[in-house]
């Protein structure tokens, strides 16, 4: 039996919508790249580098575990579990499916540059992991949710500022990380009660 024929390009409306969204994304990236921010440049590059391999989340988990008693240890465990699930899904499934090339950084000032990752651009793994950790911790320890989500937002923005991601990459990463963390914490709650 013959397989279904190739459905071809998306309908004109969908193609137009996608084209427009891509233009807005590229324009936001270009505006950020071309805006002189010499003081912010160094800070964003340092923050982006500090978030490599989820080091900020791991350090936060250690602080919570040491200073937060039983609740802090439980919050750290939820945050790390959410981070682990998210990192696996994003790096093994979402990035290969996304397949988006990294931005061309030629207009991004060199002072902002961090090493360009070899993985695909969509979605941002840094943003996904940071939001997953913040959401996992916040599920157990709501008072920590605001500062950790603030830090996650800064990490996400730093990836655009340093030129390694488009804005849509970090927005998608944040949404995916939050959703996966909610699922992971739900599973943890059911298995530990």
Give the burial class of 83: count Cβ atoms within 10 A of its Cβ; 0-12 exposed, 13-18 middle, 19 or more buried.
buried
Domain harbouring 19, CATH code = 1.20.144
On whether residue 157 sits in a domain, the answer given is yes
Provide the domain limits for residue 80.
12-192
Q: What is the pLDDT of residue 13?
A: 58
Q: What pLDDT sits at residue 19?
A: 84
pLDDT, position 98: 86
pLDDT digits (tens, 9 = 90+) for 43-100: 999 999 999 999 999 999 999 999 999 999 999 999 999 999 999 999 999 999 988 8
Structural domain count of the chain = 1
Banded pLDDT at 191 (limits 50, 70, 90)? confident
Q: Could you give phi then psi for residue 103, rounded to 5 degrees?
A: -65, 155
- Tokens 């911790």 belong to which residue? 137
Residue 106 in domain: yes
Confidence grade of residue 14 (pLDDT, cut at 50, 70, 90): low
Confidence (pTM): 0.88
Q: Is residue 7 part of a domain?
A: no
C-alpha 77/C-alpha 80 separation (Å) is 5
Question: Are the beta carbons of 175 and 149 closer than 8 angstroms?
Answer: no
Is 5 part of a structural domain of the chain? no
pLDDT reading at 192 higher than 80? no
What angle, 0 to 180 degrees and rounded to 10, lies between the N-to-C axes of helices 55-67 and 142-161?
Answer: 160
Q: Between 101 and 2, name the one with better pLDDT.
A: 101
182 falls within a domain: yes
Query: Could you tell me if residue 3 is inside a domain?
Result: no
Q: What dihedral angle (degrees, nearest 10) is formed by the CA atoms of 7, 10, 12, 18?
A: -170
47 occurs within a structural domain: yes
- Does 158 reside within a domain? yes
pLDDT tens column, 121-134: 999 999 999 999 99
């Amino acid at each position: 039996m013959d397989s279904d024929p190739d459905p071809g390009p998306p309908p004109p409306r969908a193609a137009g919508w996608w084209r427009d969204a891509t233009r807005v994304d590229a324009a936001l990236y270009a505006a950020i790249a071309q805006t002189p921010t010499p003081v912010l440049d160094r800070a964003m590059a340092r923050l982006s580098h500090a978030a490599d391999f989820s080091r900020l989340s791991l350090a936060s988990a250690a602080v919570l575990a040491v200073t937060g008693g039983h609740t802090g240890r439980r919050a750290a465990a939820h945050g790390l579990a959410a981070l682990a699930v998210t990192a696996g899904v994003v790096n093994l499934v979402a990035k290969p499916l996304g397949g988006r090339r990294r931005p061309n950084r030629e207009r991004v000032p060199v002072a902002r540059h961090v090493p360009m990752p070899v993985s695909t651009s969509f979605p941002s793994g840094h943003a996904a992991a940071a939001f997953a950790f913040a959401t996992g911790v916040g599920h157990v320890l709501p008072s920590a949710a605001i500062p950790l989500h603030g830090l996650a937002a800064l990490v996400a923005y730093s990836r655009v500022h340093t030129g390694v991601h488009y804005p849509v990459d970090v927005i998608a990463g944040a949404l995916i990380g939050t959703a996966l963390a909610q699922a992971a914490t739900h599973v943890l709650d059911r298995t530990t009660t």
